[in-house]
Amino acid sequence: MHNRLWVFIMILMGISSGAFAQEKIPTPIIKAPDDGITVTGTGMTFEWYIVEGATKFHIQIAADRDFTMLEVDTDFGGSSTQSYTWDDLPRDGSIFYWRLRVSNDPGSDWTKTRTFLSTAPEPEPWWLSDAFIDFLLVLFVAGVMTFFAAIGIPPWMIFG
């Protein structure tokens, strides 16, 4: 009887002390993007190194540093997953905060929060727009035709 009681007490002590608890999986190490970058366009890919023991990841992307205004809050992936792409990136000059963790049991801590700025691409200079180049072409042809007409050469002889 005493042996059984002793085993039972040892089991309880092991459970209460966490001796049977699983160790946390290491926090992912981020590859890209760099913290604080400016992004133009509508998509962004987040990358990290393979984490041994990870079978699922959780990413959060928020409009605030406290992660209360979440744009993305999702579990995804598998053991070989090393990236997540956000295709609906707003292009309004907003600053976004993001973090990642392993979400399978027992999981990992969150990575250090990183930021990025989302902006629209620079507009094309007006002098390179198709409309302006077409306008210049019309002016050039009109000028050439006017010049040759002034010296007495008909336009059909110029342009065949």
Q: Looking at the structure, give the CATH architecture of the domain made up of residues 27-119.
A: Sandwich (2.60)
**Pair of tokens at residue 115:** 């930021």
Q: What is the largest CA-CA distance in the chain?
A: 126
Four-point Cα dihedral 126, 128, 134, 138, nearest 10:
90
Domain boundaries along the sequence of the chain: 27-119, 126-159
Average pLDDT of the chain to the nearest whole number: 82
Four-point Cα dihedral 125, 129, 132, 137, nearest 10:
130
Phi-psi region of 37 (alpha: psi -120 to 50; beta: other; left: phi over 0): beta
Measure CA 144 to chain center: 52
pLDDT digits (tens, 9 = 90+) for 6-64: 555 555 555 544 445 568 899 999 999 999 999 988 889 999 998 988 989 999 999 99
Give 154 or 160, the one with higher predicted confidence. Answer: 154
Q: Which of 14-18, 34-38, 115-119, 133-137 has the lowest mean pLDDT?
A: 14-18
How sure is the predictor about 79, in pLDDT bands with cuts at 50, 70 and 90?
A: confident
